[in-house]
């Protein structure tokens, strides 16, 4: 009787009689304690009939006469039904309208909409991707997932074919380069044995003496050296070479940065795992998302946004230290030298960047599969129109002053390149004319960061955590260089201090009095320990104080901070965090804290640090492919997120290995070949 009352409105709607009858039987089977072992029973068992229960997607698609459909109330809150293939989207929409609360209480739907609004406000902080349907829309979106995937992602398009051909050619070149390198190594080993035998010269009346002679290596042609750049032997060996040894010719305190790189990229990956799982996937226990993300322990995940600032600090520090050293070695800096500085930077980044963008854009949509895979191309939605902005490093301003959603996570590269364009000029005048140019520029960048954060957040009425329907935080604050330059400036300051100390050690003369003063102050044990304490305090304060805003967002729909507190937060939080990091790391760069420094500079970090750039480029595509291919509703909890981290981090590094070996490292070698021939 209850079933009849529930289905009565449906039967009165004049839908397809056959669809009505079959859906009625599916509902009856679902409500029964034992599923009948027939077509209807199988469809009932493969259906979800509960919010965010995805049922059995694959089994339903393999069942003849059945079609898997999702009925979305919000983009991330849906029902799944394995229904008869004769039913249309209109049939399901009318069914939902007629049954209204038949699938779940109105309280459940309201809770799902509240959760959707919360997750959207969180996601808006780190992404400008906005799901097309809003929580307030009453129209249910019906999608026949298998049909959509088959019609859109079944046949390789022109872009995928071109990329496939390129990958085949690249693989062939790598094989040829590796084979040629193997041949040369084999020939050298045979030559060494022959030379050793010939050097045993018998002398009359005396014992043989060994007269080894050095045979000069025959010169290689440009084509041969180019091929060798793609040798797996050479590029695998480069994974074990420290960056500091490559740049300065010897291992030094800069090796501490290897561990910093690795830990920072791992922090980024973990943050993206939680972000994707909690705010961009079908969560079975959707009603627990808000409480879970408002727990104190999750503050460490939110803090992952500071990992990007760590990379800015690291980039600024290395830029200052290495470029000042280059100026000291060359003496005069000619136009050709300026060209080489910028050419090296672009040539270092663009090959791997271009390859990963086109590779992911071309192939990701064909790799994943699942009921949620209808959103496969969402992370590349701006690539068709604005792909060029990424390679011009303007994707944080294009289109329309916002941030492109073509591999949106690469906004960091745009900022880093924009900082790089101006920093050599600042450091040149710092070295050649007056040290106040450098320190004044650092101060100016800090002021610009603070004022930009204050005025941008004030103009757009930004919450620290709260509603942001237009993605203003991500588009106008989070990804803009004038709101990030302070952390890069602190890196430059640390690089100037480090160079001043090393210059004083080598020459016994002062290069920069301000740098010497800071370095000598850090030499004092009391000052150094005060810095350690200050660093730990600042890092923890600015990670966990933000948690109050996230918790308030869950409880009240937005944080309850005052406007002044929000403005100061956006102006100063990143600077203060990196100031804390500088307090911890600068003493190690200057040679103190050797126990921790030795741990951070251990050889085990070297190959992972080498892979960090390629890992950053490709990790989000790996995470997205796996997470958006979910076949079941995801249960959000500590253990599942821990498991996701266990596969997410190593899989991201593993995917970076071929990118490094076949693109990143070979092009580093090609640059050396190019300018080696140019010098000749």
pLDDT digits (tens, 9 = 90+) for 123-157: 555 555 554 444 444 578 899 999 999 999 988 99
The pLDDT, as a whole number, for residue 305 is 87
Better-predicted residue by pLDDT, 36 or 567: 567
Q: pLDDT > 70: what percent of the chain?
A: 85
Which residue among 212, 237, 262 closes a domain?
Answer: 237
Does 273 lie in the same domain as 194? Answer: no
Q: Do the beta carbons of residue 16 and residue 87 sit within 8 Å?
A: yes
360, 394, 393, 392: which is closest to 379 by C-alpha? 360
The pLDDT, as a whole number, for residue 34 is 72
The pLDDT, as a whole number, for residue 188 is 77
Q: Look at residue 614 and tell me whether its pLDDT is greater than 50.
A: yes
Does 502 lie in the same domain as 376? Answer: yes
Contacts for 287 with CB less than 8 Å, ≥ 6 apart: 108, 111, 112, 115
Mean pLDDT of 595-611: 93
Better-predicted residue by pLDDT, 16 or 321: 321
Give residue-wise pLDDT tens across range 492-546: 999 999 999 999 999 989 999 999 999 999 999 999 999 999 999 999 999 988 8
Does 641 lie in the same domain as 570? Answer: yes
Cα–Cα dist 75/72, whole Å? 6
86, 87, 46, 88: which is closest to 63 by C-alpha? 46
Better-predicted residue by pLDDT, 210 or 384: 384
Cα–Cα dist 274/644, whole Å? 9
Sign of CA dihedral 363, 235, 608, 535: negative
CA dihedral of 107, 112, 115, 117, whole degrees rounded to 10? -100
Does 582 lie in the same domain as 650? Answer: yes
CA dihedral of 607, 262, 593, 302, whole degrees rounded to 10? 180
Cα–Cα dist 669/219, whole Å? 17
Mean pLDDT of 8-19: 57
Q: What is the band of 427 on the pLDDT scale with cuts at 50, 70, 90?
A: very high
Mean pLDDT of 283-310: 87
Rounded to a whole number of angstroms, the CA Rg of the chain reads 30
Helix intervals (H) in 508-660? 513-523, 525-556, 563-589, 594-600, 605-610, 612-627, 638-659
469, 493, 472, 494: which is closest to 483 by C-alpha? 472
The pLDDT, as a whole number, for residue 113 is 58
* Cα–Cα distance list, 569 to 267, 300, 301, 485, 561 (Å): 22, 17, 18, 15, 10
Cα–Cα dist 314/494, whole Å? 9
Q: What is the band of 218 on the pLDDT scale with cuts at 50, 70, 90?
A: low
3-state DSSP call for residue 79?
Answer: strand
* Structural domain boundaries enclosing 198: 158-237
Cα–Cα dist 385/274, whole Å? 29
369, 351, 347: which is closest to 359 by C-alpha? 351
The pLDDT, as a whole number, for residue 3 is 43
Q: Look at residue 215 and tell me whether its pLDDT is greater than 70.
A: no
Q: What is the mean pLDDT of the chain?
A: 85
Contacts for 306 with CB less than 8 Å, ≥ 6 apart: 542, 543, 574, 577, 578
Identify the DSSP state of 374.
Answer: G
Does 273 lie in the same domain as 223? Answer: no
Does 596 lie in the same domain as 528? Answer: yes
Residue 592 CB neighbour total at 10 angstroms = 17
**Of 29-38, 52-61, 108-117, 332-341, which range is least confident?**
108-117
The pLDDT, as a whole number, for residue 5 is 38
Cα–Cα dist 289/554, whole Å? 9
**Regarding beta strands 77-84 and 200-201, do their DSSP bridges make them parallel or antiparallel, or are they unpaired?**
unpaired
Does 423 lie in the same domain as 314? Answer: yes
Better-predicted residue by pLDDT, 5 or 284: 284
Tokens (6 digits) for 410:
């690469």
Q: What is the band of 208 on the pLDDT scale with cuts at 50, 70, 90?
A: very low
Tokens (6 digits) for 165:
């051909």
Does 276 lie in the same domain as 169? Answer: no
Return the H-helix or E-strand segment holding 69. Answer: strand 66-74
Cα–Cα dist 539/545, whole Å? 10
Q: Look at residue 162 and tell me whether its pLDDT is greater than 60.
A: yes
pTM above 0.75, yes or no: yes
- Tell me the CB-side half-sphere exposure of residue 356, using CA atoms within 13 A: 30
Better-predicted residue by pLDDT, 172 or 7: 172
User: In terms of residues, how long is the chain?
Assistant: 680
Contacts for 191 with CB less than 8 Å, ≥ 6 apart: 215
Mean pLDDT of 438-463: 95
Does 70 lie in the same domain as 55? Answer: yes
Does 465 lie in the same domain as 444? Answer: yes
Q: Look at residue 41 and tell me whether its pLDDT is greater than 50.
A: yes
CA angle 425, 426, 431 (to 5 degrees): 100
Q: Look at residue 201 and tell me whether its pLDDT is greater than 70.
A: no
Tokens (6 digits) for 632:
């079941």
Does 332 lie in the same domain as 216? Answer: no
Helix intervals (H) in 465-524? 472-473, 485-507, 513-523
Tally the domains of the chain: 3
The pLDDT, as a whole number, for residue 104 is 47
DSSP E strands, 193-278: 200-201, 209-210
Cα–Cα dist 488/556, whole Å? 35
What residues pair up with 79 in beta bridges, in sequence order? 71
Q: What is the band of 672 on the pLDDT scale with cuts at 50, 70, 90?
A: confident
The pLDDT, as a whole number, for residue 316 is 96
Q: Look at residue 39 and tell me whether its pLDDT is greater than 90.
A: no
- Taking phi over 0 as left and psi of -120 to 50 as alpha, with beta for the rest, 418 belongs to alpha
The pLDDT, as a whole number, for residue 8 is 42
Q: What is the band of 468 on the pLDDT scale with cuts at 50, 70, 90?
A: confident
Q: Look at residue 313 and tell me whether its pLDDT is greater than 90.
A: yes
Contacts for 228 with CB less than 8 Å, ≥ 6 apart: 177, 180, 181, 184, 220, 234, 669
Better-predicted residue by pLDDT, 614 or 77: 614
Q: Look at residue 91 and tell me whether its pLDDT is greater than 50.
A: yes
Mean pLDDT of 64-79: 86
Does 225 lie in the same domain as 308? Answer: no
The pLDDT, as a whole number, for residue 311 is 96
Q: Look at residue 240 and tell me whether its pLDDT is greater than 50.
A: yes
Q: Do the beta carbons of residue 488 and residue 474 sit within 8 Å?
A: no
Q: pLDDT > 90: what percent of the chain?
A: 56
Helix count (H) and strand count (E) of the chain?
29, 5
Which residue among 221, 237, 253 closes a domain?
Answer: 237
* Cα–Cα distance list, 521 to 37, 254, 517, 581 (Å): 80, 20, 6, 17
Backbone angles phi, psi at 69, to 5 degrees: -135, 145
């Amino acid at each position: 009787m209850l079933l009849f009352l529930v289905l009565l409105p449906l039967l009165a709607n004049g839908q397809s009689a056959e669809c009505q009858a079959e859906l009625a039987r599916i509902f009856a089977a679902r409500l029964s304690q034992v599923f009948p072992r027939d077509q209807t029973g199988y469809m009932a068992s493969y259906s979800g009939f509960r919010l965010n229960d995805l049922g059995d997607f694959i089994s339903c698609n393999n069942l003849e006469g059945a079609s898997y459909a999702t009925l979305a109330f919000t983009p991330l809150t849906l029902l799944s039904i394995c229904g008869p293939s004769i039913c249309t989207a209109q049939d399901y929409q009318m069914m939902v309208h007629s049954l209204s609360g038949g699938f779940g209480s109105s309280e459940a739907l309201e809770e799902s909409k509240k959760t959707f609004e919360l997750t959207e406000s969180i996601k808006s902080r780190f992404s400008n991707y906005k799901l097309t349907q809003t929580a307030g829309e009453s129209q249910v979106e019906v999608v026949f997932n298998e049909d959509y995937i088959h019609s859109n992602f079944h046949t390789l398009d022109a872009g995928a074919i071109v990329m496939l051909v390129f990958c085949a050619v690249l693989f062939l070149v790598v094989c040829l380069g590796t084979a040629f390198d193997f041949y040369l190594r084999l020939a050298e080993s045979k030559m060494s044995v022959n030379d050793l035998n010939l050097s045993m010269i018998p002398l009359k009346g005396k014992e043989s003496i060994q007269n080894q002679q050095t045979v000069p290596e025959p010169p290689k042609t440009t084509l041969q050296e180019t091929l060798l750049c793609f040798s797996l032997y050479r590029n695998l060996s480069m994974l074990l070479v420290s960056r500091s040894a490559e740049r300065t010719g010897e291992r030094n305190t800069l090796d501490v940065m290897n561990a910093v790189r690795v830990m920072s990229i791992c922090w980024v990956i973990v943050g993206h795992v939680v972000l994707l799982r909690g705010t961009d996937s079908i969560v079975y226990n959707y009603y627990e998302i808000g409480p879970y993300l408002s727990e104190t322990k999750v503050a460490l995940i939110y803090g992952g946004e500071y990992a990007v600032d760590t990379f800015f600090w690291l980039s600024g520090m290395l830029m200052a230290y290495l470029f000042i050293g280059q100026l000291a070695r060359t003496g005069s800096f000619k136009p050709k030298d300026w060209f080489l500085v910028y050419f090296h930077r672009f040539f270092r980044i663009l090959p791997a960047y271009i390859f990963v963008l086109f590779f992911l854009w071309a192939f990701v949509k064909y790799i994943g599969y699942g009921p949620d895979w209808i959103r496969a191309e969402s992370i590349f939605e701006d690539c068709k129109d604005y792909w060029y902005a990424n390679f011009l490093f303007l994707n944080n301003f294009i289109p329309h002053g916002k941030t492109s959603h073509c591999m949106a996570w690469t906004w960091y590269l745009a900022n880093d390149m924009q900082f790089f364009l101006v920093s050599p000029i600042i450091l040149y005048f710092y070295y050649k004319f007056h040290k106040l140019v450098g320190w004044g520029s650092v101060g100016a960048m800090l002021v610009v960061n603070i004022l930009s954060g204050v005025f941008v957040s004030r103009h757009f009425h930004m919450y620290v955590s709260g509603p942001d329907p237009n993605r203003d935080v991500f588009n106008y604050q989070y990804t803009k260089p004038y709101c990030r330059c302070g952390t890069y400036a602190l890196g430059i300051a640390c690089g100037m201090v480090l160079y001043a100390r090393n210059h004083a050690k080598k020459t016994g003369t002062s290069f920069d009095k301000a740098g010497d003063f800071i370095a000598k102050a850090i030499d004092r044990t009391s000052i150094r320990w005060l810095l350690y304490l200050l660093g730990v305090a600042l890092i923890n304060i600015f990670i966990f104080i933000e948690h109050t805003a996230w918790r308030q967002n869950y409880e009240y729909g937005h944080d309850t901070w005052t406007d002044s507190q929000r403005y100061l937060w956006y102006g100063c939080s990143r600077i203060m965090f990196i100031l804390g990091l500088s307090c911890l790391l600068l003493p190690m760069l200057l040679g103190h804290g050797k126990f921790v420094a030795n741990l951070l500079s251990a050889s085990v970090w070297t190959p992972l640090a080498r892979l960090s750039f390629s890992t950053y480029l490709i990790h989000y595509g790996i995470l997205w492919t796996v997470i958006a291919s979910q076949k079941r509703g995801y249960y959000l909890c500590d253990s599942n997120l821990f498991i996701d981290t266990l596969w997410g981090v190593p899989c991201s590094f593993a995917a970076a290995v071929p990118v490094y070996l076949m693109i990143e490292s070979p092009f580093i070698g090609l640059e050396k070949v190019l300018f080696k021939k140019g010098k000749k």
